[in-house]
Amino acid sequence: MSKFIVFALVIATVCLILVNAAPAPGAQILDAQTAISKIIAAYNRYPGRSIVHPSEVATLIDPNTFVPRVYY
């Protein structure tokens, strides 16, 4: 049984090495400014105003006293 486990580990190692050795296509390598520009462009494709949700009340329970504290 240990021969099968060793064989499976060798195959998994070879697969991982081959995947890491493959270079990414040139179109997928972006600098930070290009990535930010693409995110903003994708966000701006949706027309209309952004939805602003009202603030929510957060309740925290102190683990030492088990007394809930409410924060706004």
Give me 28's structure tokens: 């997928």
DSSP string, 18-65: HHHHSPPPGGG---HHHHHHHHHHHHHTS-SPPP-PPP--EEEE-TTT
Selected residue with higher pLDDT from 8 and 24? 8
How much is the pLDDT for 11? Answer: 92
Give me 42's structure tokens: 């994708």
How confident is the model over 34-63, as pLDDT tens digits? 888 988 999 888 888 878 888 877 777 777
Spatial separation of the C-alpha atoms in residues 45 and 9, rounded to whole Å? 46
